[in-house]
Copies of this chain bind each other. A is one copy, B any other.
């Protein structure tokens, strides 16, 4: 799964830490998502979608058979 988090965050002009605080997760979690180290839980995906005013599908790009 790919995602547009870094792009969307930078468009908002905020730091990883600010986004992390808004989502109530650690800065490392945001960094890990931006750099593809793992996928978000569905709850975090919903929170991020709400924060950016978009759908989950607009932020996270599902690819067949992705890990």
> Which of A's residues lie within 8 Å of B, judged by CB?
1, 39-43, 45-46, 49-50, 55-57, 60, 62, 66
User: Nearest chain B CB to A39's CB is how many angstroms away?
Assistant: 5
Report how many copies the assembly holds: 2
Instruction: Say whether A43 contacts B55, CB under 8 Å.
Output: no
Instruction: Say whether A42 contacts B55, CB under 8 Å.
Output: no
List of B residues within 8 angstroms of A56 by Cβ: 42, 45, 55-57
Instruction: Say whether A42 contacts B60, CB under 8 Å.
Output: yes
Which residue of the partner chain B has the closest CB to A57? B55
List of B residues within 8 angstroms of A57 by Cβ: 49, 55-56
- 8 additional contacts, CB 8 Å, given A40-B42, A41-B41, A45-B45? A39-B43, A42-B45, A42-B56, A43-B66, A45-B56, A46-B60, A46-B62, A55-B55
